[in-house]
Amino acid sequence: MEQGTLVNDEMRAALGDEIDWRTSYPVDASDLRRWSIAVHYPEAPPRRFLNAEHYGGLVAPDEFNPFAWQVARRRRPVVVPKARDTDRPEKVHGIRGPGLRHQVAGGIEATYGESIRVGDVVTSRTRLVAYVEKQGRLGPMLLTTTEDRWTNQDGAFVRLLRETSIRYDA
């Protein structure tokens, strides 16, 4: 396969489109306490994650995921691909992917805004933002970047996750 042929017209047209969304149940104090205890184990978590009285209410650690256990509402994809399907970003959107056989994580970066608090309902919206084709040691590679933007029930920015995956044939 020659350079510049991995991204088809449907994929180019989908750039910027929302490919997934989900809404959490209201965050519970027990969720925040358990998550804090788990991520700090075997040490005790900082008191601000356990004691609401002194900090204006419980706040979640930055890494808290309100979608970890259950999702209240979610977009139903056009096609439900297998979890390890390398064409997953395209298939959930109902378009044809590049058909590459292998995929590895290419990196993640997070930007944090408002802390998640008890009672917050978080909405996640994931968009397909970039395709970059490169030539690797094993042949053509496709770097695919998605952005997952979280907001709370007031529309305040909570978190932005940019994830890149690397797909290739070997």
On whether both 108 and 154 belong to a single domain, the answer is yes
Q: Which CATH number do you get for residue 23? A: 3.10.129
150 compared with 137, residue with greater pLDDT: 150
On whether both 81 and 57 belong to a single domain, the answer is no
Q: What pTM did the predictor assign?
A: 0.87
Note the pLDDT tens digit of each residue in 15-32: 999 988 999 999 998 898
Q: CA-CA distance, 163 to 170, in Å (whole number)?
A: 23
**Mean pLDDT on 1-20:** 84
From the centroid of its chain, how far is CA 162? 7
pLDDT value of residue 55: 65
Q: What is the pLDDT of the chain when averaged over all its residues?
A: 90
On whether both 91 and 111 belong to a single domain, the answer is yes
19 occurs within a structural domain: yes
On whether both 79 and 129 belong to a single domain, the answer is yes
2 occurs within a structural domain: no
Note the pLDDT tens digit of each residue in 40-93: 999 998 887 877 666 677 888 899 999 998 999 998 776 677 778 899 889 888
Which range of residues forms the domain containing residue 37?
28-65
